[in-house]
Structure 1
C-alpha cells in the first residue's frame, strides 16, 4: 500500500489505519515532504517554519523526523516498510539539494537504527528527467549519510507510462535510472502508469492493437508500463473493486516483449532519425533567428510533431521555445496560428506572453513554426497530473480567474471547441 500524508486531502492515513491493523502482513510505504493540507500540526510542533508553511513543502531534517513519527502514529505501524522523500525537486535550489538530501538521509538512517523504518527511498515526478539527481549520486549521498556503503536507501518511485516514454525507452536500452537502481538491487516503483487517467482518452485503439491485440486502450497502456524492464512494483488506484480486479488481471498477463515496446516508443517519438535531425536543425535555426540560447531537456510531442525546450533570451529572460511541424501544404489553421491568435485576442488575460515567432524554415517538404513564450516557473498546483491535496488559493487568485474568464467569454471568435473522443 503506497500513501502519503497529503493524499485524499490529508485523510488517507487515517482511512488506511484500520485496514493495516486488520492485515498485519500488508506492507506499506509512505512519504515525507508534503504535509496534510494547511500544515497546522507541523507548524504547531515547530517542524515547519513560515516559509515552509507558505510553500506547503519541506525536506528539512527536523521536519523529516517529525513527519516519520507522525506517519507511524497515524498509520498505527511501529515500523514503516518504506519512507520516500516526496518529490525532492520541489526544494527548488539545485545547488543546495545534495546537502538537503544528505541531511534527510541521515535522519532516515537514524530511524532505521531505531527500528522505526525498514528502508527509505526517493519518490519523484521529474527529478531524473530534469537532471536534479541520478541514481549514482543518490547512492553516494546515502553512503555519506550512513557512514558506510551499506545504507538503507533501497527504493525509487518514478512515473513510467506511454506519456513518460523517456524513462521506458532508457530501460529498454539498459540505461537510465531504472537500470541503475535495479543493478543495485533497489525496489523500483512505477507511478502513474496511466498518467493520471489521461492515457485512457489520449491513446488510440490502433496503439492498443500494436501493444497486444484484444486489449482495451486502458488495459494495453497499463500492461505496457508494467512490462518495463527493471520494475518491481506498479502503483495502481481504482475507484471500485471491479476496476481493481480488472487491473490485476491485466497485470497477470505475460509482459509485452521489449521489441514491441521499442516499436511503440519509436511511434511516440520522431518517426525516424532523419525526422529528428531535421526538427533539431529547424529548432536551432529558429533559436538563432530569435536570439536565444537553448537549455534544459528536450520535450518531444506525439511522433515528433512538436518539440519544446527551455531557453534564455537577453531581454525577456527565461523563455520556452515550442516548435511545431506539418507538411507544407497543411501549415495553417488552429495548430499553426492558435498561439498568435490567442495573444492578439486576449491581451488582458493572464497567460504566458508570446515574445516572438519564426516560421521561415521548410525542410524536405516539412514546414516548421517556432513560438517563443514566457517560461512559467511559479510553483505548480500539483507536481503530478492529479491533485493530491486541497488547494487554498487566495481570494485574489479567484478574482483574477473570474476576470480572465469573463474576458474570454466576451471575446468574439470563429474557433469552435469540441470534446476529444
Structure 2
C-alpha cells in the first residue's frame, strides 16, 4: 500500500529519509502514485526501487529491465537513487546479463546506484562467478524470521560479488503487526537494562542478522514508525548474535 501524504510528512519529522518501492507494487502503479502523493516532498527522500516483475511474469531480459528503469524515471519525475534486480533467484542463468544492464543504466544516468534484491540468494551462488560488474548494494532478508542457511548465503553472495554495501528487508517477515512479535522477546540480544520494546529489540537483532547498514520495512502507522525510528539507536550484542548463529547452524546440520 502506498504511503499517504501525512505519513510521508511524519516520516521526515521522525528522521526517516529513504523510501523503498518496486515497479510491480500497487498493481504496477507505485511510482505514479508515489509521485502524485509526495509531490515536492519526493526530492527530500532517497528512493530505491526494483525491476524484474512485469504483468506477463518475472524476467531478467535486459531490454525489459532497461525499459522499466526508463519508465520508472519518467513516472517518478526524477532519477531513482538505487535500482535493484528484483528476486533474480527466479532466473540464475540470467543474472550476469541483467547485472550488466543495470550497470549500463547507472552509466547512462538512469539511476545513481544499482544492486540486487533477493529473498533467498542461495540459488544465485553458482551464478555469482559469471557476474563481471560489481553491484553497489545487495538487499537481503534480515532478522529473526530468516533461516540460518539463508543468512549464510547472503553473506557469501555479498562477498562473491564484491558488493559495496548490504541492506536488509522484511525484518518481521512482512508483518510487524502480527501478534507473534509481541511474544518474541528479542531483548535478550541487547545489553541488560536497555529500555527497548520487543519490536525495537527485534529491529536491533535484524541489523546484525546478517550485518546490514539499513533496513527496509513497511508500516502505515505513525506510532509504529516512531517506535522503529527510535529503535535504530539500539545495537545487538555481538556475542549473543554469534551464539544465535551457531544455534541456527547446529539446527541445520541435524
Q: How far did residue 223 of structure 1 move? A: 1.5
After superposition, residues 52-131 of structure 1 pair within 5 angstroms as 53=56, 56-77=57-78, 79-91=79-91, 97-98=92-93, 100-126=94-120, 128=121, 131=122
Report how many aligned residue pairs link the two structures. 232
1:133 alignment partner, one of 120, 124, 144: 124
TM-score (norm 2): 0.77
Q: How far did residue 34 of structure 1 move? A: 1.2
Q: How far did residue 103 of structure 1 move? A: 2.1
Structure having greater relative contact order (Cα 8 Å, sep ≥ 6): 2
Structure 2 gaps of 5+ residues are 1-18
- Alignment-derived partner of residue 249 in structure 1: 230
Whole-angstrom distance in 2 between the partners of 1:211 and 1:176: 24
Contact 1:160 1:167 in 2 (8 A): no
2:242 equivalent to 1:262: yes
Whole-angstrom distance in 2 between the partners of 1:209 and 1:82: 33
TM-score (norm 1): 0.49
SS state at 2:119 partner: coil
For residues 177 and 167 of structure 1, do their structure 2 counterparts lie closer, same or farther at Cα, with a shift above 3 Å needed? Answer: farther
1:215 alignment partner, one of 183, 196, 201: 196
Structure with the largest fraction of helix: 2
2:50 alignment partner, one of 31, 37, 44: 31
Superposition RMSD in Å? 3.1
Whole-angstrom distance in 2 between the partners of 1:225 and 1:85: 22
2:31 equivalent to 1:13: yes
Give 4+ residue runs of structure 1 displaced > 6 Å after superposition: none
Whole-angstrom distance in 2 between the partners of 1:7 and 1:176: 29
Whole-angstrom distance in 2 between the partners of 1:117 and 1:157: 16
After superposition, residues 226-245 of structure 1 pair within 5 angstroms as 226-228=207-209, 230-245=211-226
Q: How far did residue 199 of structure 1 move? A: 8.4
2:173 equivalent to 1:154: no
Structure 1 gaps of 5+ residues are 40-52, 92-96, 144-150, 281-421
Contact 1:187 1:232 in 2 (8 A): yes
For residues 246 and 197 of structure 1, do their structure 2 counterparts lie closer, same or farther at Cα, with a shift above 3 Å needed? Answer: same
